[in-house]
Every structure is written in C-alpha cells, then in structure tokens.
Structure 1
Amino acid sequence: MVSIRRLLTIIGFIFLISILGLVAITSWYTVDESEQAVITTFGKVEEGITEPGLHFKWPWPIQSVKKLSKETFSLQFGYKEKDGKVESFPKETKMITGDENIVLADMVVQWKITNPAKYLFNAENPKEILRDATSASLRSIIGSTKIDNALTSGKVEIEAQVQELLSSLMKKYDIGISIIAVKLQDVDLPNEEVRKAFTNVTDAREMMNTKINEANKYRNKRTKEAEGERDAIISKAEGDRASRIEQAKGEVALFNSLYNEYKNSKEITEKRLILETIDSVLPNAQIYIMKDDGNTMKYFPVQPMQQVLPNDQQSQQKADQSSENTQKRGENNGQE
C-alpha cells in the first residue's frame, strides 16, 4: 500500500515538474530582426509583434505564437530557377496580344508579408492566390497591348500596369501581401518561323518609315523653295506697285503744273498742245507756221531752222520738246 502511494506521489511530482517545465518553456519567445510574430489566444488573433527581442505570453495552450519572415520574396512566373538551371513552362507563359498575336511572357514578382494575421488566417494558400492573380494581371495587360510594344519599347509600361493591377487585386483579396516590384524577364515569339516572319514585317515597316521620312524631307525642301519664289514675286510686285504709285504722283504733279500754265495763257497752251500732238502722231511731217492775212502768204519752216541750230541747242530743243510732249499727254489724260 505504501509503495503504491509512493508511486502515485512520484508520478504526481513528475507531472507537476512537466507542467511547470511546459509553462516555463512556452511562456516566453524571441523574435529576430528579420521576423514578425502573431499571438493567438485560444485560436483568436490578439496582436502582431514586429519588435525584435524577448517577449512573454500566456503558456500553451492558452496562447501560441506564429512567426513569419519580413524578407522580400520572389515569385517566378513562367519559369523556375534552381541550382543555376532554368526550367521554362511555355503553357503558363503563352498568351495573346491585343492584335491577336501569340507571345511568351514570363516575369518576377517581388512581394512582402505586411499583415501576418491576414496572411495566416484570411486565406488557406495565399501564395497560390498570388500566382493566380499574377497570371490574370499579366494576361489582361498583354491582351490589351500590341505585339510591337510588347516586344520592344512597351515593356516598362506593361510592368507598371501589371504592378498596379496586381496590387489592386491583393488589396481586394485582403490576404496581407504587398507588391514591391514587377519585372518582365522575357517576351518572345513562340517559334523560329514566327520570329522570322515578325522580323520581315519589322524590316518592311522600317523601310516604309524611311521612305516616308525621305518624302517628307523632299516635300519640305520643295515647299521652302516655292515659298522663296512666292516671296520674291510678292517683293517684286510690291516694288512695281511703289514705282507705279510714284510715277502716277509725278504725272499728277506734271498735269497740275500744266493746268496752272493753261489757266494763265489758254490760247498759247492750246496751240502748243496741238503742235506737240501733231509732232507725236506724225513725227516725220514737215511743220510750217503760216500766216494768211489776205495778201502774200507767209510761212515759217520749223525743221530747217532746227538743222541750222548748233548741236547743243538742238539737244536742248529736243529735251524741251520731250518734256512738253510729256506734259501734253498728262493734260490729255486729265481731260479724259
């Protein structure tokens, strides 16, 4: 009987030691600088621990702690790299562009756990949700992008659009994940035949652009030449107009001066105009000044007298006659 009691005492003591050891072991925990922790009380989330160091809690099974990493994770979509070897998954990366061409696109998504409680309890498999959301986002953006942009200069824009769409999906799913960056690794055509055909199309397009640029250059050159000729014609016309205006002003001034002389001596001016008109209309006619008073007719030959005059006087007479002819024409124009 004593032996049984003693045995029970020993068993109870061992059990008590075990309980105390379990309490001592499960009442404290440490969090590294690269970790974050979540405390649960009977399965209910209490708080998140992000400060590194030694922390205390109620012993198990009252409270328990789950630790998660703070590091940035990388999701490799379309391929898998392990031990320096890359394995591709064409079925995963094959997608259709906005202009109905097939391309292979793979990418890397960098993400972090920013809310460990939601990451642990809001979804059964948050990594699988992230992969599916990445596939949906990339296919959506590629499906609205032309193949030229996807293969050449549009990759940066595609990355930005995928990151924006993927971040909005993570926020909507509320699984405690934040997207840090999205990087397209490669966008390529599915086979060599398609690559060759695309290269030919690209070369033809470049040739077309070259010809268009040359045509625009020639057009601009001819346009500049035509504009120069136009400006020269306009400038000449402006000069002719100014010359005509000045000439008209001179003729008006000449007419006014002739008109003033006409008002002072009408008969002399009339005879003078008649003689100048005859001289201009019949330049080779013999002009005589005649007087008939009923007796012997008298006349005065003008041309022989001009021949008798010295050369200087003849030149002066011709100049005077030319001036008078001009005055006469101005007066006739004014009378008309």
Structure 2
Amino acid sequence: MPRGFGGGRGILVVVVVLALIWLGSGFYRVLPDEQGVVLRFGEFVKTTQPGLNYHLPTPIESVLTPKVTRVNRVEIGFRAAETVRGSAVRQIPEESLMLTGDENIVDINFTVFWVIRNAGEFLFNIRSPEQTVKAASESAVRESIGQIPIALALAEGRREIEQNTLRLLQEVLDNYKAGILITQVQLQKVDPPGPVIDAFRDVQRARADQERLRNEAEAYRNDIIPRARGEAERLIQESEAYKQEVVARSEGDAQRFISVYTAYKVAPDVTTQRIYLETMEDVLRGVNKVLIDKNSGGSGVVPYLPLPEIARRSGQPATPSTSSRTPTGGTTQ
C-alpha cells in the first residue's frame, strides 16, 4: 500500500469494505414462479418464498431457485413429436397394453400433468423426477384398470379411471416425499388392441343390439302387462256386476212369486184371472191383432188378407187388384 494511504488503517478499511461486499452477496431474489432452496455446505436447510431474501454468503450457504409453477407433462403409452409435416405420434405397446378386471386387454394412452409443490423435497428426495412420475403413473393406472371391466373402461368409466389414477399416484408420490403435485391425469385413448379391434367392435355391436332388443321387450312388457291387468280388472268388475244383477233379479222374482202365492191363497179366482191376463199380455204384445165385435153375431164379416203387408215384406209393390177390404160390421186395428 502506498505510504499516503494511511498504513495499517487503510488496510483495515479495505478489509471492512471487502467484508461488507462479501456479506452483501448473501442477498438474493426469488421470482414469482420460483421457490428458493437454501443449502448450507451442500445440505438442504430451508425453502424461501418469492421476493428478496438473504442467506449466509458463499461458501457457507448457497441457493437454488427452481421454477415451481411450470406445468410438466409425462406421456405414457405414446410419444408425441413435432415434425416438418406436423405432429407425429409413436405408440409404445409395452406401456399402453394393460389388463382389465374381466381379463381383457386394453390399449391406453394417457398424459400426466404435474408441478413442483416442495422444491427441497423435489431436489433431494428423488433422483430422476420425470422417470419417477412415469413409473408411478403407469403402476397407478394399471391398478385402476385392473378393477373395472373393459366395457366400462371403453364407455363411461374413463372419468373414474382418471380420478382413481390421480388419487393413487398422489399417494405414492407423497410416500416418496417427492415434493410433486399431480394436477391432472388425462386419458388420450382407450381402445382394444389393434389386431382384434374389428372383432371387438362386432361384439360391441352385437351387445348393443342385444341391449336394444331387451329394452324393446321391456317396453312391450311394460305396455301389455298393465293393459292385461286393466282388462282383467274390468272383466272381474263386469262379472261382479252381472252376479249382483242376477242375484237381485232372482231375489225380486222370488219375492214376486211369494207375493202372488200369498194373494192366491186369499183370492184364488181373482189371482188366476190376473195371471191369465198378464200372460196373454206378454204373449200378444208384439202381435198384429184384429178385434171383432161379438155383438155383430158374425154377420157381414169378410175374411181379410193383408196383401200390402205381404208385398212390403217380400219387396214387391202391391197391384191395384190386390187391395184389402176391412170386414163389415167390425173394427180393424
């Protein structure tokens, strides 16, 4: 140092300035999409949130700032790649072919989306995060597929598979303390294997026809059974009404017979005459009748032939020569 700088005092000032610079180097900034991971002599100590933070200067402590808001994705069963002609998909059968609960093989492609939840655990508890997520995802989806039949997996069971896989995968990663949060499991394809897909579709169409015919039969049954029950109930009610009518009529006839018998015991002649008149009334009610006054003594009575009535019944018009004449001395009705 030059003599004019002050000798030992100048050296002290330089040391102090250097110390301040060294201490000031411990300030660091964590961006909004990052999380700070503080290391003390290479050992994980703590995590810090976005903003201005401080750690002991190097070489005592250091900091890593991985991006924790970036959504990462893992493809299982296929690999998508961008080419000059567009996107291309390469199938990986050893990952996509899985066994369902009813012992059928299904071809599944799915994608797992994940983010870093705890940067310290993510950096130091697992060696290869992407491979870990991939292996755990494949295991979880195989377990989910193995619990449902293939018909459900190809239809309305896709949502159930996604939810079960996400739950199982998150449990596995939490047990590993991987510091990873699974945000979504998305099924891309759920189909039968390629060599048997045509035969499988024929089976599915046959099952659909079976279900359709079964539904039609059920609809017919639901239509005909209530109608038959209603018809049976109507017949029962009509029979019951007829029974009551016959019983009431029989009871009335019996009561009328008893009344006539009682009257006959009191006045046999009058009752006999009454029964005769009522009987003749019933017999002659619908018959054409000719009444002749017996006081005429039968003189002047001419036989009557109803030619107009006969012609009307036979459909032929009556001729003028076949006119009818009423008997003299009598009355025709």
Q: Note whether the superposition's TM-score is higher than 0.5.
A: yes
Match 1:155 to one of 133, 154, 158: 158
2:228 to 214, 226, 229: 226
Per the TM alignment, residue 229 of structure 1 is displaced from its structure 2 partner at its CA by: 2.4
| Paired position in structure 1 for 2:89 | 86
Deviations 1:249-297 (A, max 9, x none): 53565467568768xxx5657x999xx7xxxxxxxxxxxxxxxxxxxxx
Residues 17 and 195 (structure 1 numbering): CA distance in 2 closer, same or farther, change over 3 Å? farther
Change (3 A) 1:257 1:43: farther
Q: For residues 169-318 of structure 1, what are the structure 2 equivalents within 5 Å?
A: 169-191=172-194, 193-251=195-253, 253-254=255-256, 257=259, 268=267, 315-316=277-278, 318=280
Structure 2 SS opposite 1:68: coil
State the AA in 1 paired with 2:81.
K
Structure 2 residue aligned with 1:328: none
Aligned CA-pair RMSD: 3.6
Aligned to 2:37: 38
Residue 86 of structure 1 and its aligned partner are, at CA, apart by 2.9
* CA pair 243-117 structure 1, distance change in 2 beyond 3 A: same
Over 3 Å counting, the alpha-carbon distance change for 1:108 and 1:22 in structure 2 is farther
Deviation at 1:314, TM superposition (A): 6.7
Give matches, 1:109-148, under 5 Å.
Answer: 109-148=112-151
Distance 1:26 1:124, change over 3 A: farther
CA distance in 2, matches of 1:16, 1:91: 65
Q: Which has the higher helix share?
A: 1
SS in 2 for 1:35: coil
Between Structure 1 and Structure 2, how many residues are aligned?
Answer: 269
* Cα pair distance change 1:107/1:21, threshold 3 Å: farther
Tell me, yes or no, if the aligned pair for 1:22 and 1:59 is still in contact at 8 Å: no
Partner residue in 1 for 2:56: 58
CA distance in 1, matches of 2:23, 2:216: 86
> How much has 1:223 moved relative to structure 2?
2.1
Q: Is contact 1:35–1:70 with CA below 8 Å preserved after alignment? A: yes
Paired residue type of 1:73: N
Query: What SS does structure 1 have at the residue aligned with 2:65?
Result: strand
Provide TM-score, normalisation by structure 1.
0.68
- Contact 1:73 1:112 survives alignment (8 Å): yes
* Equivalence for 1:288: none
User: Is the alpha carbon distance of 1:259 and 1:69 closer, same or farther for their aligned partners in structure 2, counting shifts above 3 Å?
Assistant: farther
1: CA distance, partners of 2:150 / 2:17: 68
1:68 to 47, 51, 66: 66
- State whether residues 77 and 131 of structure 1, in contact with CA within 8 Å, keep that contact through their aligned partners in structure 2: yes
Q: CA deviation at 1:65?
A: 0.9
Question: Which amino acid is the alignment partner of residue 164 of structure 1?
Answer: R
Stretches of structure 1 that go unaligned for 5 or more consecutive residues are 1-8, 277-301, 307-312, 321-336
* Distance (whole Å) between structure 2 residues aligned to residue 314 and residue 99 of structure 1: 92
> 2:68·2:119 contact (CA, 8 Å) conserved in 1?
no
Q: Which amino acid aligns with 1:146?
A: P
Give distance in 1, aligned partners of 2:270 and 2:214: 74
Cα distance in structure 2, aligned partners of 1:196 and 1:98: 21
TM-score (norm 2): 0.68
Deviations 1:214-253 (A, max 9, x none): 3333333432442232122112112113313433553565
- Cα 1:108–1:199 change in 2 (3 A) is same
Structure 2 counterpart of 1:167, from 170, 195, 203: 170
1:114 partner amino acid? R
Give distance in 2, aligned partners of 1:256 and 1:19.
Answer: 143
Question: Is 2:112–2:186's contact at 8 Å kept on the other side of the alignment?
Answer: yes
**Identity value in percent:** 31
SS at 1:213 equivalent: helix
Q: Which whole-Å CA distance do the structure 2 matches of 1:131 and 1:317 have between them?
A: 108
Instruction: Work out whether residues 162 and 182 of structure 1, in 8 Å CA contact, stay in contact via their aligned partners in 2.
Output: yes
| Matched residue, 1:49 | 48
Contact 2:23 2:56 in 1 (8 A): no
Q: 1:96 aligns with which of 76, 96, 99?
A: 99
Amino acid paired to 1:131: K
Alpha-carbon distance, 1:189 to partner: 2.7
1:29 aligned partner: 28
The one-letter code sitting in structure 2 at the alignment partner of 1:28 is F
